Amino acid sequence: MNPETIKTIIAISKHETANYTSKVFRQNHNLFGMREPRKRSTLATGTNLFHATYNSIEDSFKDWLLWWQMHGVTIQMLDNMSYVQMVTYMKGKAYFTDSFTNYLNGVKYYYNA
């Protein structure tokens, strides 16, 4: 992954976890606010606080990549997306329920921090 993609992924994870302070992150090792999937392969080990639990933050990251893979997006494709394009794609796939503007502004804040 290129540095800009990594920066975007970190910004998304910081937004999703309130800068790594949320209960879902601390209790579930869940970097991205993922729910336990019903239809795809997953590394989730269960559910707590209505969100997927993981054995590690590494498994959470890998599971997030599985979500992208399920939608036909490769790492190479992610490397060619800006944070705006990534958030737009995620909203189009109903990844988050917040408004597009609020989510984008949150990711932008951490991207530029």
Q: How many domains does the chain have?
A: 1
List, for residues 81-105, the tens digit of each pLDDT value: 999 999 999 999 999 999 999 999 9
Query: What is the amino acid identity at position 57?
Result: I
- Residue written as token pair 């976890």: 17
Note the pTM of the prediction, 2 decimals: 0.95
Domain limits at 41?
3-112
pLDDT band at 106 (very low <50, low <70, confident <90, very high): very high
Nearest to 113 by CA among 6, 21, 14: 14
pLDDT in tens, 12-64: 999 999 999 999 999 999 999 999 999 899 999 999 999 999 999 999 999 99
| CA count, 13 A, side-chain hemisphere, 93 | 14
Distance, in Å, from the CA atom of 44 to the CA atom of 66, rounded to the nearest integer, reads 11
CATH number at residue 101: 1.10.530.10
